[in-house]
């Protein structure tokens, strides 16, 4: 099943959970009100999420004058993929990592940590930036906003159940309390499953944008190895941002556990390695420009 199909199935499950919970509470009026409130909250977040996230991570915008190597690479990859050029930011963190944000491709930004630029080769950096561009092109921010809306509405309905719910429908006080705990948990699990599915899809499309699956595979392997020993202070202060990074920046979810927002890195690398077995155009034939990539470590002014 493709990443898009998995996302559709998971979002359908979120919708079914929401509607089922509304039915248990004795009608649709409360469900509609909760959904409207949650939608309004998430709509505000959607329009302002990029500025909020960049501010929370302490990211600073860079240009060709201040970080010519990185900016030209991102612009070249975006041009080759037929995408609008996103704004480029650098985060002053020694942990190698990166993320994308923005409500659509016309209002998007990519951010890389200083540690990523210092510790990875240009080829690996290009793979990471292509992955983040894939998130933008796939409208993943929109997808995650929609799922957040449903998750917020489900949590709100579960809380309403204690005061306004039909106890006969929910099985009395004990049933209502169980519902309050399990419904938001189930919504959170679906939300995390969607996030994990989007990571696989971004890896695949990012490898196509860069034209080099192994560049991204090498980057994932290196980032995970190095990040284990370096704290990402900004992410630790705001753990809700963890799902946005290419590799989980927190140290609490090192494995592919039930509550992890990221797939196991070894599985992602295996999927990328499988792509190298498929015929693909050479660097000279590819329509994607190979901007600033190569096996040697860059001597350019990345940060």
> Which domains does the chain show, CATH number per domain?
49-142+171-275 (3.30.2010.10)
How many of the other CB atoms lie within 10 Å of CB of 79?
14
Per the prediction, the chain carries an average pLDDT of 77
Order of strands, edge to edge, in the sheet holding 87-91?
Answer: 60-62, 87-91, 107-113, 98-104
> Is a pLDDT exceeding 90 seen at residue 226?
yes
pTM for this model (two decimals): 0.74
- State the catalytic residue, choosing from 123, 124, 132, 199: 132
> Catalytic annotation on 123?
no
Q: CA 75, 79, 82, 87: dihedral to nearest 10 degrees?
A: 20
Containing 165, the helix (H) or strand (E) segment is: none
Residue 206 has pLDDT above 70, yes or no: yes
Q: Which two tokens stand for residue 186?
A: 């189930």
Decide if pLDDT at 106 tops 80. yes
Residue 296 is predicted with a pLDDT of 38
Res 52: pLDDT? 80
Radius of gyration of the chain (CA): 21
Angle at 270 (CA atoms; ends 268, 275), nearest 5 degrees: 100
Spatial CA neighbour of 151 closest among 40, 249, 63, 35: 35
In which band, very low, low, confident or very high, does the pLDDT at 132 lie, cut at 50, 70 and 90? very high
Alpha-carbon 40 to chain mean position: 22
Q: Is pLDDT larger for residue 31 or for residue 246?
A: 246
Tell me which residue of 152, 49, 52 sits closest to 104, measured CA to CA: 49
Lowest mean pLDDT among 101-115, 180-194, 277-291: 277-291
The SS3 assignment for 140 reads helix
Give the mean model confidence (pLDDT) for residues 189-210: 83
Look at residue 231 in the predicted model and tell me its pLDDT: 86
Distance (Å, whole) CA 303 – CA 289: 22
Which residues partner with 24 through β-bridges? Answer: none
- Calculate mean pLDDT across residues 133-154: 76
């Amino acid at each position: 099943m493709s990443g898009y199909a998995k996302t559709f199935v998971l979002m359908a499950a979120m919708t079914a959970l929401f509607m089922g919970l509304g039915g248990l509470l004795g009608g649709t009026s409360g469900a509609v009100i909760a959904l409207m409130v949650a939608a309004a909250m998430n709509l505000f977040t959607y329009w302002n999420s990029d500025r909020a996230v960049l501010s929370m991570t302490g990211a600073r915008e860079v240009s060709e004058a201040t970080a010519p190597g990185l900016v030209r690479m991102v612009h070249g990859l975006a041009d080759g993929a037929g995408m609008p050029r996103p704004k480029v930011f650098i985060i002053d963190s020694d942990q190698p990592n990166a993320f994308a944000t923005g409500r659509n491709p016309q209002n998007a930004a990519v951010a890389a940590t200083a540690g990523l630029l210092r510790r990875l080769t240009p080829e690996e950096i290009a793979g990471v930036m292509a992955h983040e561009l894939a998130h933008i092109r796939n409208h993943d921010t929109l997808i995650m906003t929609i799922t957040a809306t449903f998750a917020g509405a489900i949590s709100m309905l579960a809380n309403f159940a204690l005061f306004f719910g039909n106890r006969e429908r929910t099985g009395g006080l004990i049933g209502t309390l169980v519902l309050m705990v399990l419904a938001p948990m189930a919504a959170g699990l679906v939300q995390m499953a969607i996030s994990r599915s989007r990571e696989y899809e971004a890896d695949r499309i990012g490898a196509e944008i860069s034209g080099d699956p192994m560049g991204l595979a090498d980057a994932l392997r290196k980032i995970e190895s190095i990040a284990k020993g370096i704290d990402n202070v900004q992410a630790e202060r705001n753990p809700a941002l963890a799902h946005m990074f290419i590799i989980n920046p927190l140290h609490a979810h090192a494995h592919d556990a039930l509550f992890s927002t990221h797939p196991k890195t070894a599985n992602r690398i295996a999927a990328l390695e499988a792509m190298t077995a498929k015929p693909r155009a050479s660097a000279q034939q590819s329509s994607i420009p190979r901007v600033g990539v190569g096996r040697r470590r860059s001597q350019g002014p990345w940060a």
